[in-house]
Amino acid sequence: MKHTKHNGFDQYPLRQELLQAIVGKGFTEPTPVQTKVLGYESLAGDLIVRAKTGSGKTLAFLLPLFSDERMISRIPGVLIVSPTRELALQISREATWLSGNLECTCASLVGGMEINGQIRDLQRGASLIVGTPGRILDHIRRGTLHTDTVHTVVLDEGDHMLDMGFREELEGILDATRKREKTWLFSATMPDSVRKLSRRYLSNPEMISLVDDCEQHSEIAHTVYTVPRKRKLEGLANVLLWENSSRGLIFCHTRAETREVAQRLVDEGFRAACLHGDMSQRERNQALSQFSSGHISYLVATNVAARGLDVPGVEHVFQLGLPSDAEMFIHRSGRTGRAGQAGHNILILNQLEAEKLRFMLRGTGIHITWLPVPDSSVIHDTQRSRFEDKIFSQKANENQQIRSWAADLIARADVLDLVTGLLSLSGNSFQTGYALQKELQQESDLRKNNGRNVQKSISSERLRSRRQRGTAVRLGISNPAEWNAGRVLKTVCTSLGVSRREVAEIVLKPDHVMVGLLPAALEKYRRYPENLSQAGLLQQTTTHRQPKGKKRETSRSYQVHV
Ligand code: ADP
Ligand code: MG
């Protein structure tokens, strides 16, 4: 046998056949989630596992399941439910190589595929069933999948199945498999909907959590590029040229948008295709395999189509437009940086969206680099040096024919003329993107001006509706002429790291300012008063009165509601 070298999977009670498959695949160490699950003393009961995407959850549940004697039979024993077709097929591929040395059969029951073939597979007998919720339930109702013998149900990406509206199907499946011994729930996040489901269908689950909400994917670098409002596609083209990714997944919101974006990219000369739910399963598989094989560099997809996908070596995820919430942001970015590789998560947003994103991600501790979209001039310079690198790395000097041709040309013509001629033939052919900088700057200036006017009116309304002014804090200012309410607000928010909503009121006085802080801001202030003093707002005395909006007798007293 081949595996004489130490393998990190050796220490667990796994069948020899599985160990051989792992060694054959070249895996040497279990990932942290695999270590946790495999090392668990009892895997006989219910389990909830929280781990980030790309952490190797599939093997974490397949390995212990395949170690069960009953897997050799041809009766349905393990049912794995997964949110999307692609993900289900991916799990069955993983199951196939893993069980290559075992007499174990697997059936995939995914939507969009011909049902008769699936019925035949089930009749032939399979102990492992992997599928999407709707199709599995369909087979249960048709009586083509018998669930009496199912002893284990695995819900993969539980959070997403619920997001995608599969609650009823999941409940149907869980109700139909009531004789099961155990239910394992895998989920990167635990929203209330998942908790509710687990309370109802899992009994005393063991919890294994490898997620620290604050630092999902520390190996992924996040960058936001701001683009002019109506030039998102041009912005995308510039970013793609700049980042020069060899394999990138581009997320859009709608199916129509994926088509439009993919077409535009093809027109621009990129190798791209789309992936969305209106495509037939065959078309989807084709797009995916073109992408996996490197035949195309960019796959433009909707969230649903791309959920849970594991295409190795995705260098970049590009999110076109604002993700709907922080969890989607995290999940989309999880398509890159798989299995500990470095990845880049890039968002292409207009300036308003960028501000919303800042707000959405507050308190998550995710570090983001904010940049304006690269302009055609810098792209030109970069493309030029890439082109020069290519020239220098050409191994033309090893090709005698080309070398003697070059020598002949040099003998006949001036070198400067020659190079100029060659460059104008080929060197000018690279793409340099669009000039967007000026438009972006104009929008930014406009936003700043409007922001000043809009802020007061919107904010005072907000205050009225909230009828809450917070706790008044008195802050000294050394040079009052330099301060206005807007600057105070900005300083307070940035130094305390709170949002504008946490500052209820600002009242400027000749030598100090009264700021009404709501609880979150107040707590930060109490913990880090020095942050404000460093920014020029000096702590004086904290009063616990509410600041009154009434006019005071001071000469320069006015109030701004924010
Ligand atoms: P998750 O379900 O947590 O998102 P996957 O199970 O899809 O992650 O695994 C991500 C990738 O890591 C897959 O390509 C898988 O083959 C690979 N992988 C899993 N376990 C290991 C391991 N122990 N060593 C190396 N690669 C692994
Ligand atoms: Mg997975």
Per-residue pLDDT of the chain (562 residues; tens, 9 = 90+): 444 567 889 888 888 999 999 999 999 999 989 998 998 877 889 999 988 777 899 999 999 999 888 888 889 999 999 998 888 999 999 999 999 888 888 999 998 888 999 999 999 999 999 999 999 999 999 999 999 999 999 999 988 888 778 989 999 999 999 999 999 999 887 777 888 899 889 988 888 887 754 344 447 788 999 999 999 999 999 999 999 888 899 999 899 999 999 999 999 999 999 998 888 888 888 888 899 888 999 999 987 766 656 677 788 989 999 888 777 787 777 777 665 567 888 999 999 999 889 888 877 778 888 889 999 988 888 888 888 888 877 765 677 888 888 899 999 999 999 988 888 887 667 788 899 989 999 888 887 776 554 343 334 434 434 446 678 888 888 777 777 777 888 888 888 888 877 887 787 777 888 888 888 888 888 888 888 888 888 887 644 444 444 433 333 333 334 3
User: Quick one: which atom of ligand 1 is closest to the CA of 334?
Assistant: 4
Strands 298-302 and 343-349: unpaired
At residue 4, the pLDDT reads 54
At residue 2, the pLDDT reads 45
At residue 453, the pLDDT reads 46
What sign for the dihedral angle of Cα 229, 232, 234, 240? positive
Strand order in the sheet with 298-302: 272-275, 298-302, 248-252, 316-320, 343-349, 220-226, 368-372
| Cβ–ligand 1 contact at 27 (below 6 Å) | yes
| Cβ–ligand 1 contact at 139 (below 6 Å) | no
56: left (phi over 0), alpha (psi -120 to 50) or beta: left
d(C-alpha 112, C-alpha 115), whole Å: 8
Distance 60 CA to ligand 2 centre (A): 10
User: Quick one: which atom of ligand 1 is closest to the CA of 33?
Assistant: 3
Looking at all shown ligands, the one closest to residue 49's CA atom is: 1
Measure CA 164 to chain center. 17
At residue 278, the pLDDT reads 85
Which residues have a Cβ under 8 Å from the Cβ of 54 and sit 6 or more positions away?
217, 310, 334, 337, 338, 339, 340
| Cβ–ligand 1 contact at 216 (below 6 Å) | no
d(C-alpha 27, C-alpha 60), whole Å: 13
Report the predicted TM-score, pTM, of the whole model to 2 decimal places: 0.51
Q: Which of 155, 310, 311 to mutate to test the pocket of ligand 1 (most atoms within 8 A of CB)?
A: 310
At residue 549, the pLDDT reads 44
Where would I find the H helices in 67-220?
85-98, 115-124, 133-142, 158-163, 167-176, 192-201
Give me the helix-helix angle, 415-426 and 400-412, nearest 10°.
120
| Cβ–ligand 1 contact at 82 (below 6 Å) | no
| Cβ–ligand 1 contact at 187 (below 6 Å) | no
d(C-alpha 196, C-alpha 173), whole Å: 16
Q: Tokens 């409002």 map to which residue?
A: 229
Q: Is 556 exposed, middle or buried (0-12, 13-18, 19+ CB in 10 A)?
A: exposed
| Cβ–ligand 1 contact at 52 (below 6 Å) | no
Q: Do 48 and 202 touch, CB atoms closer than 8 A?
A: yes
| Cβ–ligand 1 contact at 92 (below 6 Å) | no
Which residues have a Cβ under 8 Å from the Cβ of 8 and sit 6 or more positions away?
28, 29, 30
Neighbours of 263 (CB within 10 A): 14
Distance 67 CA to ligand 2 centre (A): 20
User: Quick one: which atom of ligand 1 is closest to the CA of 58?
Assistant: 6
